[in-house]
């Protein structure tokens, strides 16, 4: 679907989305691809090829060139993560995710001008967040951890011919990592006062980076469209603020010598390939393939004066995904959709650290849309991500704190529940 906006009016919806943004981004595996657009009900299948609404900008900037008219797309996505952690016999521990529902907003605007199409989007890029609580056996390893991101991305698409469209976008991206852990106050060398309960450290910060996308769509026939999109990697270097609570006086005096603390990481590049076929009755079948460079993110490092430590001692590996979806008219003014997506695990044989419970995942989604007029379309989609077991091997700690025990175990029964509520306004 397309939206026609006057160029200066594009700033208004983006400003609203920026104010609505909260750092509590969605929690999931390595890459939760939901944009809040109509493809969410198809588990994102073939999203690089489809031009269903202005949210297509987030998957392939060339796809906005296929919208028939100017459009504003707004979405809100409540997300909930469930899991259980079970420690090994040697390191008994148990916890569940105590974090509640996070709501992720997204807003996109597209203006159609003959063969040129302009757009801008404000949306979450990727994220991982959970809260294991402060009472479990692994609290000195991690209590809470999260990484949220948000993009403000202008885009342009050029219809070179009636069949071929190319597009590009550039994104100003903010990344916000955060972590909280308990700190041992019972080290013998601290001296008095003795018997203090654990203290607590909270680390947080943010960094702006520049990203972007290049894309192309091609229609070999009137019923088939293909799309290919590349998302550039984004480098971040975040100086972390440290807030300490209840530390032993000796440890509190030592803390300034660890600062400044900086987290360097690269959010992975991605390649999407999509194919969509529309039958004579209007039913659309879509297929998608994806690849993400998670091995680069696995090189993340925590840097302090005189030392540098890997965040993923065993590294990560690149992932791939495949998806299939269907969309068809089910009644006058009503459209239904469904899809399945698979994403491989970025974890290596050496396991993952406790603050990054990622594993392979299957997504099953379904959605419904209703056009209440020629100018307004409403929709709702539900996606459930079933995540495989994430094996944790946490025997070293990037932050040199005393009394951190080794933690070995498994995050089991991971489920991500996502509800996408959206509206399209054709101008």
| Distances in whole angstroms, Cα of residue 136 to Cα of each of 68, 132, 170, 407 | 54, 7, 43, 12
pLDDT tens column, 261-307: 999 999 999 999 999 999 988 899 999 999 999 999 999 999 999 88
Distances (CA, A) of 205 to 20, 127, 240, 263, 360: 19, 15, 5, 9, 29
What's the mean pLDDT in 87-93? 88
pLDDT of 21 over the 50 cut = no
- Asked if pLDDT for residue 413 goes beyond 90, the answer is no
Other Cβ atoms closer than 10 A to 31:
22
**Dist CA 37 CA 123 (whole Å):** 11
Nearest to 356 by CA among 105, 22, 26, 28: 28
Residue 412 — φ and ψ, nearest 5°?
A: -120, 160
Query: What tokens were used for 139?
Result: 């609290």
Q: How far apart are CA 88 and CA 103, in angstroms?
A: 34
- Using pLDDT thresholds of 50, 70 and 90, give the confidence band for residue 404: confident
CATH 2.40.160.60 is held by the domain 7-426: yes
Residue 67 has pLDDT above 90, yes or no: yes
pLDDT at 22: 36
pLDDT-based confidence at residue 256 (cuts at 50, 70, 90):
confident
pLDDT of the residue at 400 = 82
- Which one, of 170, 90, 119, lies nearest residue 11 by Cα? 119
Residue 7: strand, helix, or coil: helix
For residues 395 and 392, give the distance between their C-alpha atoms in angstroms, rounded to a whole number: 9
Name the residue among 102, 78, 229 with its Cα closest to residue 153. Answer: 229
CA distances from 22 to 55, 123, 176, 322, 371 (A): 19, 11, 10, 30, 30
Identify which has the larger pLDDT, 317 or 3: 317
Judge whether residue 12 has pLDDT over 70.
no
pTM of the entire predicted model: 0.89
Closest-CA residue to 237 (of 214, 209, 277, 195): 209
Whole-number pLDDT of residue 32: 59
Chain Cα centroid distance, residue 241: 23
**155 DSSP assignment:** E
Q: What's residue 30's pLDDT? A: 44
Q: What is the predicted pLDDT for the residue at 76?
A: 95
- Return the closest-CA partner of residue 243 out of 301, 183, 192, 307: 183
Report pLDDT for 128. Answer: 73
17 pLDDT band, cuts 50/70/90, is: very low
> What is the per-residue pLDDT for 397?
85
Q: What's the rounded Cα separation, in Å, for the pair 282 and 368?
A: 15
pLDDT above 70: residue 49: yes
Residue 425: pLDDT over 90 = yes
In percent, the amount of the chain with pLDDT more than 70 equals 92
Tell whether the torsion through CA atoms of 311, 312, 317 and 322 is positive or negative. Answer: negative
For residues 219-236, average pLDDT:
96
> In a 3-state reduction of DSSP, which class is residue 365?
strand
SS3 state of residue 29: coil
Percent of the chain residues topping a pLDDT of 90: 70
- Give the 3-state secondary structure of residue 250: helix
Q: What is the dihedral of CA 85, 89, 91, 92, to 10 degrees?
A: 50
Instruction: Check if the beta carbon of residue 393 is closer than 8 Å to that of residue 357.
Output: no
What's the pLDDT at 258?
79
- pLDDT confidence of residue 323: 96
The pLDDT assigned to 56 comes to 95
Count the Cβ atoms, other than its own, within 10 Å of residue 232. Answer: 16
Sorting pLDDT into bands at 50, 70 and 90, what band is 28? very low
Burial class (CB in 10 A: 0-12, 13-18, 19+), 110: buried
Cα 154 from chain centroid?
Answer: 19
Quote the pLDDT of residue 4: 30
What is residue 14's three-state secondary structure? helix
The predicted model gives 120-140 an average pLDDT of 89
Residue 24 has pLDDT above 80, yes or no: no
DSSP-derived letter for residue 298 is T
What is the residue-averaged pLDDT of the chain?
Answer: 88
pLDDT at 265: 95
Mean pLDDT of 118-144: 91
């Amino acid at each position: 679907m397309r939206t026609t906006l006057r160029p200066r009016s594009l700033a208004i919806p983006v400003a609203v989305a920026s104010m609505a943004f909260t750092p509590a981004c969605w929690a999931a595996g390595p890459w939760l691809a939901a944009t809040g657009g109509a493809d969410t009900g198809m588990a994102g299948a073939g999203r690089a090829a489809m031009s269903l609404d202005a949210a297509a900008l987030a998957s392939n900037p060339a796809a906005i060139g296929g919208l028939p008219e100017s459009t504003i797309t707004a979405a809100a996505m409540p997300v909930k993560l469930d899991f259980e952690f079970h420690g090994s016999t040697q390191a008994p521990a148990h916890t569940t995710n105590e974090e509640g529902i996070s709501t992720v907003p997204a807003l996109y605007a597209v203006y159609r001008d003959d063969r040129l199409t302009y757009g801008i989007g404000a949306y979450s890029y990727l994220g991982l967040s959970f809260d294991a609580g402060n009472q479990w056996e692994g609290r000195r390893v991690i209590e809470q951890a999260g990484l949220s991101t948000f993009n403000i991305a202008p885009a342009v698409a050029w219809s070179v011919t009636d069949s071929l469209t190319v597009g590009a976008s550039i994104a100003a991206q903010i990344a916000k990592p955060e972590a909280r852990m308990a700190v041992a106050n019972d080290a013998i060398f601290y001296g008095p006062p003795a018997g203090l309960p654990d203290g607590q450290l909270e680390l947080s910060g943010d960094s702006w980076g520049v990203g972007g996308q290049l894309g192309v769509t091609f229609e070999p026939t009137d019923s088939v469209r293909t799309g290919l999109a590349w998302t550039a990697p984004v480098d971040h270097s975040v100086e972390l603020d440290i807030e300490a609570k209840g530390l032993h006086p000796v440890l509190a005096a030592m803390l300034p010598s660890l600062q400044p603390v900086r987290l360097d990481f690269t959010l992975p590049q991605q390649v999407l390939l999509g194919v969509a076929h529309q039958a004579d009755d209007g039913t659309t079948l879509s297929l998608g393939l994806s690849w993400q460079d998670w091995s680069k993110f696995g090189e993340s490092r925590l840097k302090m004066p005189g030392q540098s430590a890997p965040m993923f001692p065993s590294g990560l590996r690149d992932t791939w995904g495949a998806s299939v979806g269907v969309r068809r008219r089910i009644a006058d003014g009503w459209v239904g959709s469904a899809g399945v997506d698979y994403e491989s695990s970025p974890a290596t044989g050496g396991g993952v650290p406790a603050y990054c419970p990622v594993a392979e995942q299957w997504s099953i989604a379904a959605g419904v849309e209703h056009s209440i007029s020629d100018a307004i379309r409403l929709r709702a989609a539900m996606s459930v991500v079933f995540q495989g077991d994430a094996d944790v091997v946490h025997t070293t700690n990037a932050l040199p704190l005393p009394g951190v025990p080794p933690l070995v175990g498994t995050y089991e029964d991971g489920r991500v529940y996502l509800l996408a509520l959206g509206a399209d306004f054709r101008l």
